[in-house]
Structure formats: C-alpha cells, structure tokens
Structure 1
Amino acid sequence: MTIRLCVLLWAADGQEDALTGYEDQVLSLIPRHGGEVRSRVRRVGGGDGPLEVQLIDLPDDARMQAYLQDPERLALADVHRRAIARTDVLTVETIV
C-alpha cells in the first residue's frame, strides 16, 4: 500500500536557500527507494507558514524507513540542522 506524505518545512532564519539546496539533495534519493516526489512548492512572499511543501509517495513503510536511514541522507544531518527550523510530516490521502 502506497504511503503518501505531506512534508511542511520551515527554514531557519536566513537559511531559505540552504533549505532548498538540502531538499534538492535528499529528494533526489527518493526514487532509489521506489518513491516519487509528486509535488514540491515554495511559498511566495512573507508569512508564517512553511517555506516549502512536498507530496511524496513511497511504496510502503519499509521503503520509507530505508529512505530515512539512507547513508547519503544521514551524511547531510549537519546541513539539515543548520537550514531547517521545523519539519511537519503528515500521512495523507488524495480526496480529489
């Protein structure tokens, strides 16, 4: 059963470009684990909401865990800590 994730990301102060660069790298690993980035959007203008929102499909929980433990992803942990202030991950389903 496919797992669809909605990922909401807030940048640390002044780290908007670093967040984007980090996400470029880690999202490129998703296909390796049988997944697909369905949508990736970035907030325009100011506001308190997340800077970036992603929809990601992964085949199952085992593949999701494999992605989360991917050595290339884990090697970027310091970049993640500097660039990202907050991450919310929701499991969602498509209604329309």
Structure 2
Amino acid sequence: MLTLVAIVEYADGAETAGQRYEDTVLALLDRHGGRLERRLRGTDGRSEVHVITFVARTGYESFLVDPERAALRADLGDAAPTTRVIEVDEV
C-alpha cells in the first residue's frame, strides 16, 4: 500500500478551472488501483489537500502517465494547478 498527500495550488484566476481539472483526474484513480481517501479545500479556495492511496507503487506510476490525465493537463496550459506530492506513513 502506498499513501500520498498531494498539496494542490491553483493558478491565480484559474481556481474554477483547476477544481474542475482535479474533479476529473481524481476520478481516474480507480483505473490505476488508487483511491481518494480525503479531499480538503483551503478556506481561501485557492488550494486543496488530497490523501490518496494506491494498492501498489506501479499504480501511482501509471496514474502519472495516464494519457487522459496528460491531455487534460495540457489543455489547461498555464492555468494547470501545481502539485507537491509527499509519500507518508502512519505514525
């Protein structure tokens, strides 16, 4: 099991487009053995935190190169959110 925390920051003025992008790509997790455990939005509406699990690291790797995900990101261009991903363990 692989557990990740993703910190997502939306581009200035592109919060709505960024949220739609996240809605769509998070729905792709299942096809890669992933699951969204928690999705939290910052009170300012400009950022989100996701807790995501994958059955195996290979699922995460395949999610990263998913052609549908890549196409959606390319369509957003400069409006695409930036994401920092941290691998975590329970303590």
**Structure-2-length-normalised TM-score:** 0.89
Contact (CA 8 Å) 2:4, 2:52: kept in 1 or not?
Answer: yes
Q: Which residue of 2 aligns with 1:93?
A: 89
**Matched AA of 1:18:** A
Aligned to 1:75, the other structure's residue is in SS state helix
CA RMSD, 1 decimal: 1.6
Counterpart residue type for residue 80 of structure 2: A
- Alignment identity in percent? 37
Q: Which amino acid aligns with 1:22?
A: Y
**Residue of structure 2 in register with 1:68 after alignment:** 64
User: Which protein has the bigger helix share?
Assistant: 2
One-letter amino acid of the structure 1 residue matched with residue 66 of structure 2: D
Work out whether residues 16 and 83 of structure 1, in 8 Å CA contact, stay in contact via their aligned partners in 2: no
Tell me the TM-score normalized by structure 1.
Answer: 0.84
87 and 3 in structure 1: CA distance in 2 versus 1, 3 angstrom threshold: same
Q: Displaced runs of 4+ in structure 1, greater than 3 A? A: none
How many residue pairs match? The answer is: 90
Equivalence for 2:79: 82
Partner amino acid, structure 1, of 2:2 = I
Letter in 2 for 1:93: D
Contact kept, 8 Å, 1:19 with 1:80, in 2: the verdict is: no
Separation of aligned partners in 1, 2:78 and 2:25: 14
Q: State the 1:7 CA deviation.
A: 0.2
